[in-house]
Amino acid sequence: MRARRVTALGGAIALMVSLGACSENTGDDTGGVDTTKPRTGAIATDPKDSLGPAPEVPGAAKGGTFYILRENKISHMDPQRIYSFAGLMGSQLYARFLTTFKDDGKGNVTLVGDLAETPGTNVNNDCKVWEFKVKQGVKFEDGRPITSKEIAYGIARSFDPDLTGGPTYLQEWLVDSPQYDTKWDFKANKTSLPPGLTTPDEKTLRFEFNKPRCDLPFAVSLPATAPLPADKDTGVNLDNQPFSSGPYKFTKHTPGVEIVLERNEHWDPATDAVRHQYPDRFVWSLGADQAAQTNRVLAGTGNDAAAVATGGVPSELIAKVTGDPKLKERMIVAATPNAYRLTINTARVTDLSVRQAINHAIDRTSITKNLGGPYGAVPMTTLLPPTTLGYKQFDAYPAGDSGNPEKAKELLAGKTQNLVLLTSDVTSSQERATQIKNALEKAGLTVTIKTIPEDGYLDTVKKKDNPYDLWVDSWAADWPSGASILPVLFDGRGIKAEGNSNTSQLNNEALNAEFDRILALDPAKQADEWSKIDERLMKETAPAVPLYVEVVSLAHGEKAGGVFIGSIFGWPSFVDAYVKQ
């Protein structure tokens, strides 16, 4: 789980859809994004949910080549090193994990077993011991069966300090230390496994932790649990030629130019509840920028007719696409789980009524309008984004999207406070800061904007003793559980001098205890609790002002079918993709 700033996404254009956001344009005035739509999220309890084959996609046909357009190289393709949206979604084609999300693209997700028969067994119901049974019939691209040994080896190699880039949850949880690679040296122990990870037999993988790790079923949905036979481990070179366990395998990779994936004949759809194998091949075509990608798929010349432009429709082409009904049909518009909030430094703004007044005064309409309206951002009033399992909409300070300065003045009751609003020197951030200042000053607050260079922004706001009262933060969780959002952002017991995710510096004993209580629950039971504590946080402490979630607008060629925006990472999903014949 990381704070993600758009500019720090390795060139990736923000993409994604919320659970409720639709993956096909509905043609309404809001750009097709509907955050009020009912959404569901669950962890599968019936092993049948984890079995394949995945339901057929209506209208889908086998054959053809599906093209994926992208500007930049994907930072990593080696599953143990993947941590980018493109990598996470792209790896589903050639790698399988212990668990994965069954996502219908309409707001309904279920965590199911992928290589595992179920999303895991909480052996003692204390989240300290977990077991996963490997499915029968799962195979690598060379036909070798996948057993617990290869999955364990994959996890073990993620301890290798040479293999940079990937998430570190499993490693840190297993050795119970952030210094995981010094606690267990992969290179010196290649034939053994990290402490806490065992394979009692070829079918069983067992995790034993010192502390409860109730989010393990989610954490093992990340690509670090992709299997690898030890004899296929080429170290850092695996990044350019991963060994497949999924429905497609690498047949050609020209870094920065093209990746060709062709069918893996050893993949058995009966073992896979999520993926299909419709196209003969997928081709990642790299290099074209955002505008070129969109122009290409809209023109649909040759191969581009069966292509999706992952860069998003640039703002200058939005009017052209939305103004033509035929083109608009080929546009996917969706809200992402990347949630932005106006952080209030509670160590400096100590008066709750001031924080509540700020919440009443904020004008979300002007901010989202400046971001492109319904094609750029959707206002939100909760700390949890709508993608979160168990999400419930509420508005602790109902002032409408344009704010209610009068109500804010009433709360302030004549009190005045000079607030320092920090912004980076990026133009859009500066404009947003001005809009925030204008809204707050209408309520009688005095706001001074302080601008600093973009590259030092995150480091600054994460410092405990920073001299600022307000700034904009964003957060996108690695899995759709409140556990990966609220305790990370608002549990005050871990506040340190630098590098704080709890940038509000909220430290409320009652809420901290509540975080502990919920975290100790079985993950299936946590979902509703996170939504409740979200509302408590806002009403009782107002540590931030929820602002908006990003919206992505993508275009695809007329022969490209089955693409939807994944609910978890908000990037296009290709598991249902097909070429219209």
Give the residue with the Cβ less far from other proteins, 144 or 320. 320
Q: Is there binding between residue 462 and other proteins (CB under 8 A)?
A: no
Q: Site mask, other proteins, residues 209-238, x = CB under 8 A? A: --------------------------xxx-
Pairing of strands 108-113, 40-43: parallel
Give the residue with the Cβ less far from other proteins, 198 or 303. 303
Give the residue with the Cβ less far from other proteins, 10 or 373. 10
Q: Is there binding between residue 114 and other proteins (CB under 8 A)?
A: no
Q: Is there binding between residue 299 and other proteins (CB under 8 A)?
A: yes
Give the residue with the Cβ less far from other proteins, 187 or 493. 187
Please pick, from the candidates 44, 86, 111, 288, the single residue that binds other proteins as defined by CB under 8 A: 288
Q: Is there binding between residue 285 and other proteins (CB under 8 A)?
A: yes
- Count, residues near other proteins per rule CB under 8 A: 41
3 state DSSP class of 99: strand
Paired with 204 in beta bridges are: 133, 201
Alpha carbon 557 to chain centroid, angstroms = 26
Please pick, from the candidates 28, 56, 162, 201, the single residue that binds other proteins as defined by CB under 8 A: 162
206, 197 contact by CB (below 8 A) = yes
Give the residue with the Cβ less far from other proteins, 142 or 324. 324
Residue 448 host element (H or E): strand 446-452
Give the binding range for other proteins (CB under 8 A) out of 158-166, 214-222, 244-252, 459-467. Answer: 158-166
Give the residue with the Cβ less far from other proteins, 27 or 456. 456
- C-beta of 11: minimal distance to other proteins in Å? 8
Cα dihedral 273, 276, 282, 287, rounded to 10, equals -50
Please pick, from the candidates 254, 402, 428, 438, the single residue that binds other proteins as defined by CB under 8 A: 254
Q: Is there binding between residue 286 and other proteins (CB under 8 A)?
A: yes
Please pick, from the candidates 61, 230, 257, 513, the single residue that binds other proteins as defined by CB under 8 A: 257
Q: Is there binding between residue 164 and other proteins (CB under 8 A)?
A: yes
Length of the chain: 581
Give the binding range for other proteins (CB under 8 A) out of 50-58, 286-294, 340-348, 410-418. Answer: 286-294
Distance, CA of 381 to CA of 539 (rounded, Å): 12
Task: Tell me 170's DSSP state.
Answer: H
Residues in Cβ contact with 427 at an 8 Å cutoff, skipping those fewer than 6 apart: none
Paired with 112 in beta bridges are: 100
Give the residue with the Cβ less far from other proteins, 46 or 162. 162
Closest to 142 in 3D by CA, of 46, 297, 58, 266: 266
Residues in Cβ contact with 410 at an 8 Å cutoff, skipping those fewer than 6 apart: none
Give the residue with the Cβ less far from other proteins, 45 or 164. 164
Give the residue with the Cβ less far from other proteins, 288 or 332. 288
Distance, CA of 355 to CA of 547 (rounded, Å): 14
Q: Site mask, other proteins, residues 52-91, x = CB under 8 A? A: -------------------xxx-xx-x-------------
Q: What is the DSSP string of 311-361?
A: T---HHHHHHHHTSHHHHTTEEEEEEEEEEEEEE-TTT---HHHHHHHHHH
Q: Where are the alpha helices (DSSP H) in 520-559?
A: 523-536
Task: Tell me 243's DSSP state.
Answer: P
Please pick, from the candidates 88, 111, 298, 552, the single residue that binds other proteins as defined by CB under 8 A: 298
- C-beta of 316: minimal distance to other proteins in Å? 12
Q: Is there binding between residue 178 and other proteins (CB under 8 A)?
A: yes
Closest to 114 in 3D by CA, of 220, 202, 264, 239: 220
Please pick, from the candidates 103, 117, 141, 239, the single residue that binds other proteins as defined by CB under 8 A: 239
- C-beta of 220: minimal distance to other proteins in Å? 18
Give the residue with the Cβ less far from other proteins, 417 or 460. 460
- CA distances 508 to 406, 440, 504, 546, Å, are 29, 26, 11, 19
Distance, CA of 28 to CA of 536 (rounded, Å): 34
Residue 262 host element (H or E): strand 258-263
Residue 90 host element (H or E): helix 85-90
Give the binding range for other proteins (CB under 8 A) out of 149-157, 289-297, 353-361, 415-423. Answer: 289-297
The footprint of other proteins (CB under 8 A) covers 71-73, 75-76, 78, 161-166, 168, 178-179, 181-182, 187, 235-237, 239-240, 254-257, 285-289, 292, 295-296, 298-299, 301-304
